[in-house]
Structure 1
Amino acid sequence: MKDIGERKKPVKSKRKKQYELHTWVGFHLAFIMSLVLFTGTVATLSNEIDWMINDDMRVTPGTEMVSWGAMEKAVREHSPDGNIASIYTMGPGYFAYRASVFDEFNKLTYVHVNQWTGEITGETHPLTVQRFFRDLHRYLFMPNYLGLPVVGSLSFILLISLYTGLKTTRNWRTVMMRVRRDRGVRIMVGDLHKAAGIWGSWFFIVMAVTGLWYLTEFGYAVAGERMEAERPDVTEQRTARRGMVLQDRPLQEVVTVAKKALPELQITGVQYPLRSNQVFTVLGVRDNPLLRDRANRVFIDPIDLSVIKAQPEENISTVAYLNEMADPLHFGTFGGLTTKIIWFIFGISMTGLSITGIWLTWRRLKSKAVTKAQFATLPILLLSLLFFSQWMDRYREADLPDVEKKFVQKRTASGLQVSLAIGQDPRAEAGPARLVLQTEGRPNLRAVSLCNREDCQETKLPVQGRSMSIPVDLPDSSFSTGDIITAKLSYNNDQEEQVEWRWR
């Protein structure tokens, strides 16, 4: 028999439970959510911010653009030893076109070219505002397999916040138009919080749905599948039939072939082949502004200009089609600067909702202590800080020894110029080695081996451009006078060449 004095626990209403869930997810996951919302908001206009910062990105629009071939020529003359990875438009006519150029150490530089005059306007370091905020927003500087699922999972939190917020708000029409400024700061902030939430509910849905799509795309990648339409390469058989050095055709010829394959294509960018089996990829837009440039592509053999595949948007799968809509919807790029500004304003509003939600909950709880759940999210932020240093490594200069022993440059029968440099440390006779390969075309190489006294170390090539520096670990770092160091070059057509140097 129950005690007469025993009190029954009050039963919480459904609305009360939804309100508590709303405040819990908004308050306890506030640190990570505010960071992702803010960085995504800045990323929306990050290209425009870079445009204001970097003089070389700004041009005065003219009446007629120069040819793609003229832009390629300008970039080649500016960076004669560089490997062009791509040339792209960056937006409206007042943005210069951007060429991504790798140096011999595989370090990236942006070379900007005026599409109206064909002149080089300057260079920009690849660590731009756009790159910083996009990467921080996308995966918090962590490796993809860690950061992408963390950020993508926040889409569930957005949906929960939206659903519980709308379900616990009564009289929408009144709330969305009401800001009471005469009832104290807490009431005014609360009114702003509710009104912004209702007005921005459509934006919440767009961000949550596209975020979940990115999470699904990550799941596809984990399963070894791709949502993107297939990217064909030159077949191994065709690559093997070619010589030791690949002479790519001029860009203007490539663009002409692409226009014949897809006459309606408005070309916005070209991706160059860097490895021996890669192709020219010409991208552009047609009639649907909601699709990324990647939806319409032409893949062209760089040697004989044969069209390997023409990919109009109507020929890709439904999944690939939807996948190409994700970025334009997520960042608001489909309508140019107008939609970007709209996305930016609503992004600021979403960030403000997160911050005001924290403040309102603190005021209600009358406590400013960090909660256990908030502490639980701190490791994610600490991991982001930890991986930031590794993320920065890709933008640092090549890490070379202070002193290198350089050997004379040799020229092979195929026309490849090969140099050897071995780092020297005062405490040891020799350190890390690197081979520098230069040619007028692209070496059709499969692998490089560096040998000292019959002991060889093979290195697979990461990038095969016209100029590259390949780090190689020598099997034996101690040398004696007269030792022969041999570089063995293995080509895809089963030919081999070798170059020898004598240690003195």
Structure 2
Amino acid sequence: MAKISKRFWFQLHGWFSLPVWVLFCFICLTGTISVISHELTWLTNSHARASNPDNLPEKSKQSLINSLTSEYPTADVMSVVSYEPYLVNAIIFTDTDKPYATAYVNQYTGEIQAINQTTSFIEFMRTLHGWLYFPWQAGYSVGYYLVSAMALVIFGALATGLIIYKNFWRAFTQPKIRFGQGSKTLLKDLHTVAGVWSIWFMAIMSLTGLWYLTQAIMWHNEIDIEEHAPIVSEAQLPSSKNTQAIDLNSAITITKNQFSEFTPTYIMLPEHNRGMYSIMGAGDTVFYDGYSYSTSVNPWTGEIAASKSPETMSTLQTLSHIADPLHYGTIGGIWTKVIWFLFGVILTGMSVTGFMMYSKKLVKVKKPSSVTLNNTAETN
């Protein structure tokens, strides 16, 4: 069997990133910003800050909705979203003059701090990074495919890089960055050291990205990962129009009785008389996202029609709910976010230095040598 040369692996390593360099760099950059999008929102948008100088307890979700409907009596509330404790709750609603709006409601004071009818910074960055704002149609988005396919680029660059750079582990204990030997040497050293220190990060990004690609293929082929939300059966509908449905607070209490240490993060209210409260949240698990615990509560009977938790998830559901915390670094709060942000910056920089190195090599190959020029001159 013929031995594959190091030159081949080097060329393959370069071509894993060179043809899609701009797209890959852009996706790395937007992903890096997305990691700290909550913190950037708090820093730049005063209306989104959940100030609590008097150390007040958090109000119930129903009272927050009541605060909104007291100012906007015709509002039709669709959902309530909770972010970090230092960010306000977002109540999504429609109104006669607002086809789609989000109220920023302080969960400690009940004050409506702003009404937003545009995309928030958090949503904008996640959408830009997730599927490049390409439209969704028939269960798929070309942008989602493009972004998730970058996992193959990361994996290929990581694998070929480890083949090219022998004894790479020395960069952990003896990192070598030579500043006085020209730009080519400096770029190579920066790229090598950054790559070695980012092995674990690139592995996580490629594995989670491969899951997103698999997930995209499943969505495209109408293979369900999550079960469809149930609806109230006709037999369970109230016989009298005067019958009152249970309120949101009761539905949340029922869910908390089902799961210990439950914190609601996303709540969808019933859209019609056969709809249910869809309540999602986080528990005491570290590696699962904030939607890994959920219930569908019948608003007429107070029964839990369906529920989900890490203990009852299928393998595909488990992968779906652990991918985001690993991809965005939310497993350990602000500290892991900072680590993911720093290595996101490094990965973005590696795409730039890799392109610069390979482009310099291509220019050198294409540039005619002085011997060739002299021979051409003598011939003429």
Q: Following superposition of structure 1 onto structure 2, how do residues 209-248 of structure 1 map, counting pairs within 5 Å? A: 209-228=207-226, 230-235=227-232, 237-238=234-235, 248=245
| Equivalent residues of 1:56, 1:123 under 8 A apart | no
Tell me the equivalent position of 2:313.
316
Q: Is the 8 A contact 2:230 2:306 kept in 1?
A: no
Query: Structure 2 CA distance, aligned partners of 1:71 and 1:214?
Result: 35
Paired with 1:218 and 1:238, the residues of 2 have a C-alpha distance of 37
**Which residue number corresponds to residue 39 of structure 1?**
30
Cross-structure match for 1:373: none
What's the secondary structure of 1:27's corresponding residue?
coil
Contact 1:96 1:115 in 2 (8 A): yes
Contact 1:279-1:300 within 8 A present in 2 as well: yes
Report the equivalent of 1:152: 148
Question: What is the aligned counterpart of 1:71 among 53, 64, 74?
Answer: 64
Offset from partner CA, 1:278-330 (integer Å, 9 cap, x none): 31112222221211222211211123322212323211212211210011111
SS of match in other structure, 1:99: strand
Distance 1:238 1:48 in 2: 48
- 53 and 275 in structure 1: CA distance in 2 versus 1, 3 angstrom threshold: farther
Q: Does 2:322 match 1:330?
A: no
Secondary structure at 2:115's aligned position in 1? strand
SS in 2 for 1:283: strand
Instruction: Calculate the TM-score normalised by the size of structure 1.
Output: 0.66
Q: How far has the Cα of 1:276 moved from its partner? A: 4.5
> Which has more helix, going by share of residues?
2
Question: Which deviates further from its counterpart, 269-278 or 294-303?
Answer: 269-278
Alpha-carbon distance in 2 for matches of 1:241, 1:63: 39
CA deviation profile, 1:215-249 (whole Å, cap 9, x unmatched): 11112212222223x24321453487767899643
Query: Residue 444 of structure 1 corresponds to which residue in structure 2?
Result: none
1:203 and 1:325 mapped to 2: Cα distance?
Answer: 16
After TM superposition, the score normalised by the length of structure 2 is 0.86
CA contact (8 A) 1:298 1:310 kept: yes
Unaligned regions of 5+ residues in structure 2, if any? Answer: 367-380
Output the amino acid matched with 1:26: S
Q: CA–CA distance in 2 between the matches of 1:248 and 1:34?
A: 51
Identity of aligned residues (%): 26
1:22 pairs, out of 5, 9, 13, with: 13
- On the 8 A contact 2:130/2:144 being kept in 1, the answer is yes
Return the alpha-carbon distance in structure 1 between the equivalents of residues 219 and 97 of structure 2.
29
Does 2:264 align with 1:267? yes
1:109-128 equivalences in 2 (<5 Å): 109-128=101-120
Greater share of residues in strand: 1
Contact 2:105/2:112 (8 A) holds in 1? yes
Give the equivalent residue in structure 2 for 1:137: 129
Structure 1 residues 128 and 241, CA gap change in structure 2 (3 angstroms): same
Return the index of the structure with the highest Cα Rg. 1
1:110 is paired with a residue whose SS is strand
TM superposition shift of 1:189: 1.7
Counterpart of 1:53 in structure 2 is 44
Provide Cα deviations, 1:58-85, integer angstroms capped at 9, x if missing partner. 1223242222232121122233222212
SS class of match (1:333): coil
Aligned residue in 1 for 2:373: none
SS in 2 for 1:249: coil
Change beyond 3 A, Cα 1:367–1:17: closer
| In 2: Cα distance, 1:345 partner to 1:269 partner | 29
**Uncovered stretches (5+) of structure 1, i.e. residues with no partner:** 1-10, 370-504
1:182 is aligned to 180
Question: Match for residue 164 of structure 2?
Answer: 168
Deviation at 1:102, TM superposition (A): 2.4
TM superposition shift of 1:48: 1.8
The whole-number CA distance in structure 2 between the counterparts of 1:188 and 1:257 is: 61
Name the CA distance, whole Å, in 1 between partners of 2:289 and 2:254.
21
Q: CA deviation at 1:200?
A: 0.5
* Bigger relative contact order (CA 8 A; separation at least 6): 2
